[in-house]
Chains A and B, each alone.
Chain A
Amino acid sequence: MKLHTGLAAVLLLAATGPLFAQQDFAGEWAPLYHEDGPERLPGPELADYTELPLNDAARLRADSWDADRISVVEQYQCRPHGADYSMRGLGNLRIWADVDPITQKIVAIHTHLLAWDSERTIYLDGRPHPSANAPHTWQGFSTGVWEGNMLTITTDHLKENYIRRNGVPRSDKAIFTEHWTRHGDYLTVTTVIEDPVFLTEPLVRSDNWYLDPGQHIGIFGCEYASELPKPEGTVPHHLPGTNPYLHEFANYYGLPYDVTRGGAETLYPEYRSKITGYHPPDHCTRYCTCTTLFNCNLP
C-alpha cells in the first residue's frame, strides 16, 4: 500500500511539474501607461525624435511627413498599427493558447488587440518563417521559443509602418523581437526593433500590462472616406527644409533643437552631460502625468 502511494505521488508530481518550460499568458490584459505615456496616449508631438536611434534617412522621412496624408489618402485611414506598434499598448489585449491534446504543449499563442481588431498568431511548433517572396502583413509572421518561463518571439514579414506616430518610419525589412515575462498579474513585454533601413542600432523598449478578467473588448470598425478632397493621386508632404513645425517641440520644452533630432547617442545617460542650453518651462502645463488618456493635461 505504501509503495503504491509513493508511486502515485511521483506520477502526480510528474504530471503537474515543469516537464517543459512554458508560462500561461492567457487572459484579458489592460495596458499600463506609466512609461512613455504622452507618446502612447495622446500621441507624440511633431518632430519629437528623442530616444530613437534614427539614421538620416528616417529623420528626413519624418521631417517630410504631413499629417494631412491621413485625411487625403484614403488608404491610410483604416491602416492598422504594425505588430510592434500594437505592443506599445494602445488598446486592450486578449491572449489565448492552442494546446496540443497529446503532448499538452502550447503550440500557438494568439493575440487580439482592440485597435483595428488586430490579431496575431505566434507559432511555437518550430515551423520555419515563410519565403522572402511571401506577402507581408501588418502583424507579420511570428514564432516563439521558451527561454525558461520567458517567451521570446521573433516577427518578420511586416508591412512598412511607423515607430512613432509622427511620421518616424519603420521599414518592411525590420525584425521585431519580444520577450514576454509574467509576474503574477503583470505582464512585461520587452521589445527590440532591428531595422537596417532606418535604425543605426536596435531600439529597445518595454511595456506593461495587468490582468483584467472583467475586461470587455468591443468591436473596432473603420470605414474610410474622403475627408479632405484633393486631386487624385495627391500625396501631402513637406519639401525638404520647408516644414514649419520642426522646432515647436524643442521650443515648448526649452530643449536644444539637436536633442530633439534623436540618434543613437541620445539613448544613453552620458548624453545628458553633453546637453547645453536646456531651459525647461517654469512649470508643467501639458502631459504632466499622463497615465491614462484622461489625465494628460491635454490643452
Chain B
Amino acid sequence: MKWPTIAVAAALLVPAIRAQPADIETLHVQGNVFALFGGGGNVTVQTGPEGVLLVDTGLADAAPKLMAAIRKLSPGAVRYVINTHVHADHTGGNAALVKMGATPEMPGPARVIAYLNVMDRMSTPAPGEPAVPAANWPNDTYSTPYKDLFFNGEAVFVTHIPNAHTDGDSIVFFRKSDVLAVGDLFMPDLYPFIDLAHGGSVNGLIAGLNKILEIAVPAKYQEGGTMIVPGHGRLCDEADVVEYRDMVTIVRDRVQDLIKQGKTLDQVKAAKPSRDYDTQYAAQGAFISADAFVESIYKSLKP
C-alpha cells in the first residue's frame, strides 16, 4: 500500500460510516452528560438550565435525527459545540445543529470551539479534498494547550492533544459529571485511524491515550468513575482505554523493532506485527484494516 492510500482512506471515512443505520440511540452517561450513537461519530450532549453543549455533531445528513434526540433531552438552545477533530463524521452537522438548536430567546449563533488546526484544515483543504462549507467552520478556535469554560454548573476542560489522530485533536472533560469525550483517539472496537495526511502520528496517539489515563480515575477496582465517550463505539471507562493503549503501544514497539532490523514496509506488513489483535480490532469490513494500521505506524516512525 503506497502513501496516498492513507489519504484515500481519510477521504473514504465519511462513506464508510454513512453506510451505518441512522437510528439514533441515546444513553445517559452520568451527571448532566448523554451520548448519542448512530449519527456518524458519537455525539456527547451536556444539558442544564443554561442550554445545550455538544461535543461533535455527527454527519451532516444525520443532523435532523440528532436534533430530535437532543430535543428529547432538553428544550434549551445549543450554546456550544466543541469539535474533537476535523473529520466530517464529527463536524458535518456543525451548521445544521447550530441552526436547529437556536431558540427565540437564544438565537445564537452558538460558539463552535475547535483547535486552530481544525479551522486551517477546513478553510484550506489539501489538494483533492472536498471543500468544507464555511458555515461548518469553527468560530471560536484556540491555539493554547487547553481552554476551559463553565457551563450548566460545571467546569468544562478542552485539552489539545498534539499530532495524534490528526493535528487538531481535542478531548473534553466535564469535571462535575466526570465524563471525558475523546473523539477518535480511542475507538474500543477498531484500530485507530492515524491520519498522517492531517498531521497524525502514532506516538502522539499514544501520548493522547496516556493523557486520557492521567485524567480518568476509576471508582473502585478499576471500574466506573470517570466515564469515557469514544469517537465510535460503546461507552467505556479507564480500564478499556488501558487495553487500547497497551495494544497501540505493543504494536508500535513491534514495528519499531522491525524498522531497527532494517525491514521494508512490505516486509513489516508481511511479518503481521498486529496479528494477535486483528480478530479484535479489524473484524471483517472494519474501516481500518490491519495492514493500514501497521502501515500508518511504519510511516509515522520511519525516519
Q: Which residues of A contact B (CB under 8 A)?
A: 55-61, 64, 69, 73, 75-76, 78-80, 116-118, 131-138, 159-160, 171-173, 196-198, 222, 232-233, 235, 237, 239-240
10 A-B pairs closest in CB distance: A60-B276, A61-B276, A235-B249, A135-B235, A57-B276, A75-B242, A233-B210, A79-B222, A133-B234, A197-B279
Known A133-B27, A138-B221, A173-B280; further 5 A-B contacts with Cβ < 8 A: A57-B279, A79-B221, A131-B27, A159-B223, A235-B249
- Nearest-CB distance from A159 to chain B (Å)? 6
Q: How far is the CA of A133 from the CA of B236 in the complex (A)?
A: 9
Q: How far is the CA of A276 from the CA of B236 in the complex (A)?
A: 47
How many residues on chain B are close to A (CB under 8 Å)? 39
B235 with A64: CB separation less than 8 A: no
Instruction: Mark interface residues in B243-270 (1 if CB within 8 Å of A CB, else 0).
Output: 1011001100110010000000000000
Contacts of A136 in B (CB 8 A): 234, 236, 240
Is residue B278 contacting chain A, with contact meaning CB distance below 8 A?
Answer: yes
* Interchain CB contact (< 8 A) of B222 among A78, A235, A237: A78
Question: Which B residues, 191 to 243, have Cβ-Cβ distances below 8 Å to chain A?
Answer: 206-207, 210, 213, 218, 221-224, 227, 233-240, 242-243
A55 with B279: CB separation less than 8 A: yes
Which B residue's beta carbon lies closest to that of A139? B223
* Interchain CB contact (< 8 A) of A117 among B221, B243, B276: B221
Contacts of A132 in B (CB 8 A): 234
- Nearest-CB distance from A169 to chain B (Å)? 9
B245 with A135: CB separation less than 8 A: no
Q: Is the interface of A mostly helix, strand, loop or mixed?
A: loop
Q: How far is the CA of A240 from the CA of B25 in the complex (A)?
A: 41
* Interchain CB contact (< 8 A) of A75 among B213, B254, B275: B213
- Nearest-CB distance from A138 to chain B (Å)? 6
Q: How far is the CA of A58 from the CA of B273 in the complex (A)?
A: 14
**Can you give 23 A-B contacts (C-beta < 8 A)?**
A57-B277, A57-B279, A59-B276, A73-B242, A75-B222, A78-B221, A80-B221, A133-B27, A133-B234, A135-B227, A135-B234, A136-B236, A159-B239, A159-B240, A160-B243, A197-B280, A232-B210, A233-B245, A233-B249, A235-B249, A235-B250, A240-B254, A240-B273
Contacts of A172 in B (CB 8 A): 188, 240
Which A residue's beta carbon lies closest to that of B242? A75
Is residue B37 contacting chain A, with contact meaning CB distance below 8 A?
Answer: yes
Contacts of B276 in A (CB 8 A): 56-61, 64
- Nearest-CB distance from B110 to chain A (Å)? 26
Contacts of B234 in A (CB 8 A): 132-136
Contacts of B278 in A (CB 8 A): 57
